[in-house]
Structure 1
Amino acid sequence: MKTTLFALAALTATGGALAQSSSVTLFGVVDASVAHVSTKDGSVTGLANGGNASSRLGFRGVEDLGNGLKASFWLEGGINVDDGGSGFKFDRRSTIGLLGNFGEVRLGRDKTPTYQNLETFHAFGDSGMGAINGHNLISSSAAGTIEGSNPKRYSNSISYLLPKMNGFYGQASYAFGEKAKGNSNSLSSSMGVRLGYGNGPLNVALGYGTTKGGTAADTINYKTFNLGASYNFGMLTPMVLIASERGNNQRVDLYSVGVKAPVGPGEVRAAVSWYKDKKRNERDSVRLALGYGYKLSKRTELYATVAHMSNDDNATRKLGTSLAHTVAAGKNATGYELGLRHNF
């Protein structure tokens, strides 16, 4: 009897040790806002999804394999709070990887290295009325590519992330086009790199990427470059972003300056962004955005944003809200939103 009890106790202790060596976390963001967009041709008001941060649901986990080696997975999909959506899939991120002193090797679908700069160095990131909208500056449906001339995410990718080294960080990614050899095995493939330095109040990073489009007989290399920086002075954090996208005899440059500043129990955000089309006339735009986030708790925020997009005669750029609206060539757009975001 004592032997049996001892064996059960040992088994229980072993099971507890194993349980402590791995973990799985359920997480997500729920974000919705009442939004309004108006142009000279009309206006629309409704409920928008992700005005402050993209709504999502995910699972992530880590297992300690010993000797400093860990295995990890991350499954994350977007959700629509406004209408519930028509289906769910892990379209935001689906990765598996190994971590150690060498850094991390990650396989699957993930954000591109260059897109992370667009999110990091803009006061509103890439969500809601003030969103930067700095990806796919040339075309979101570029022929021969999977998700445009400069997508947010790579599918079928393998990435290497540097370990933490005195503030330096970096990532290199390659995404397989997965085309048959007769159609050019590298068509639709992409690659990107990012190198940055974040230490104390300073954060600066450089990104570069290419995406191969066109056809097997006539390929097109879309290239993107960006450079961002921010500095936290305590009372405010100014930030700057420079980006350029080129390919198929087109070029669009993006310049943005912004600031975040703690005010009361929340934060003021402001940004000005210029979109410059270098190959086509009268296709430039300017976006102004101002907002405030009031922190109800560490995980819940009430926010308000107002934004204005000024388009040249041939430009049709829209505001970043998920609220469906169209902008005719040469028309300006003004919008505002009041929303609530909760992280869990």
Structure 2
Amino acid sequence: MKKAVLAMAALAACTSSAWAQSSVTLYGIVDAAVRYVSNNNGAQKQLVPGGMSESRLGVNITEDMGGGLKALANLEHRLNSDTGTIAAAEFWRQAWVGLQSNDFGQIRLGRQYNILFDVYTSTYASFRYSPYIEAFKPEIGLSAGARQSNMVKYLGQVGNFYGELQVSAGEGTGAADKSVGGLLRYNDGTIGLGGAYLQVTDLLGKKVKATTIGGSYTSGPLYVNLSWGQNKFDQGGQLGAAFTSGLIKGYNSIAVLNAAANDVKKRDMIMGGLTYQLTPQLNLGAEYWRAEQTHYAVALANTKSKADHFAVVADYAFSKRTDAYVEADYTKYTGAVAFSNGATKRGGTMVGLRHRF
């Protein structure tokens, strides 16, 4: 009897040890800012649910299965911190499960960020302390929706080189029905270089082809970035409206950058800027974006529409988790593009508070 009890105790200890290798981590960001926007049917004052970052709540799951193999999963919900409502039609903005091997890399299945978003935010992000400004993010307008559903993604690393491949199955359930693409990037802690290509196909067989390349340089308190991106749209596709109507997400002040929903032929953007860490707590940053696009409409065939965007940010960290920021931005359009109220110029500024956990 004693032997049986000892055997059961040993088995329980082994089981407890095995379960101890699993972890579930709850994480999130709560961000809110007071924002002022000019020339939006008069001046507009708002409490926006995310100035530098969109508020979110997520769960990361990791199980160490031994032998260099891990099981992974992620669920992430985006929310509006000003009203407590959901930020998008789908409750889970990310929902994927995967496996990671020390020798063979990582594979993920489900809804997740696409390779364009990955390379923009990892290799030549607009700001060192925050990849982009949530309330003013022209570069994300070139990332083909930033996420895709029904995706299989492979991630691998050899030394300082990183690669990703993605394929989204065509299931006939949404406008952005299929995708295929890849990225390659390099980062040694000082120099970051990368590029990506993604092709998205709608239910009509029409394609959007997106390309980006760029780099960054980090030295002590200084961070500098420069990149180029391009989107090409097949005429008559369903993705023109989805991928062109919101070059800037400006809460009730969305930029309409096409004369008609599916009129955009090609869009190019160059962006560059710098961040400087003035003190351990204070970061100063500035970024400039220049976009040009051509149109399919006969009346606009010889028209090249242009957009100039500029933003500056001062961010002060009270701690590792909590920071406050002051931001100012400016936009100017020429050609066949304008804001939804017909304005071609607009300024904005905001003061916000962000907490990460």
TM-score normalized by the length of structure 1 = 0.85
Structure 1's 91 and 241: CA in aligned 2 closer, same or farther, altered over 3 A?
farther
Which shows bigger deviation, 153-162 or 273-282? Answer: 273-282
Alpha-carbon offset, residue 190 of structure 1: 0.9
- Sequence identity (%): 28
Structure 1's 186 and 316: CA in aligned 2 closer, same or farther, altered over 3 A?
closer
- SS across alignment from 2:308: strand
**Partner of residue 273 from structure 1, selected from 280, 289, 295:** 289
Structure 1's 87 and 50: CA in aligned 2 closer, same or farther, altered over 3 A?
closer
Q: Which residue of 2 aligns with 1:194?
A: 183
User: CA separation in 2, counterparts of 1:227 and 1:272?
Assistant: 16
**Partner of residue 284 from structure 1, selected from 306, 311, 315:** 306
User: CA separation in 1, counterparts of 2:135 and 2:58?
Assistant: 24
User: CA separation in 2, counterparts of 1:266 and 1:207?
Assistant: 32
- SS across alignment from 1:284: strand
Structure 2: 5+ residue runs without aligned partners?
236-264
Q: Does 2:228 match 1:242? A: yes
User: CA separation in 1, counterparts of 2:86 and 2:73?
Assistant: 25
Q: Which residue of 1 aligns with 2:168?
A: 175
**Partner of residue 229 from structure 1, selected from 212, 215, 240:** 215
Q: What is the number of equivalent residue pairs in this alignment?
A: 315
**Partner of residue 118 from structure 2, selected from 111, 116, 119:** 116
1:184-225 superposed Cα distances (whole Å, 9 cap, x missing partner): x9982111211000112111110100011262xxx3221000
TM-score normalized by the length of structure 2 = 0.82
**Letter aligned with residue 207 of structure 2:** N
Matches within 5 A, 1:20-35: 20-35=20-35
Could you tell me whether the CA contact under 8 Å between 1:36 and 1:44 is conserved in 2? Answer: yes
Structure 1: 5+ residue runs without aligned partners?
138-149, 318-326
Structure 1's 129 and 103: CA in aligned 2 closer, same or farther, altered over 3 A?
same
**Letter aligned with residue 73 of structure 1:** A
Could you tell me whether the CA contact under 8 Å between 2:78 and 2:87 is conserved in 1? Answer: no
Matches within 5 A, 1:1-344: 3=3, 6-7=6-7, 9-39=9-39, 41-86=41-86, 90-100=91-101, 101-120=103-122, 121=124, 122-123=126-127, 125-136=131-142, 150-162=144-156, 164-179=157-172, 188-213=177-202, 215=204, 219-249=205-235, 250-264=265-279, 265-279=281-295, 280=300, 281=303, 283-316=305-338, 327-344=340-357
User: CA separation in 1, counterparts of 2:167 and 2:141?
Assistant: 18
User: CA separation in 1, counterparts of 2:202 and 2:4?
Assistant: 67
User: CA separation in 2, counterparts of 1:206 and 1:333?
Assistant: 31
Structure 1's 29 and 212: CA in aligned 2 closer, same or farther, altered over 3 A?
same
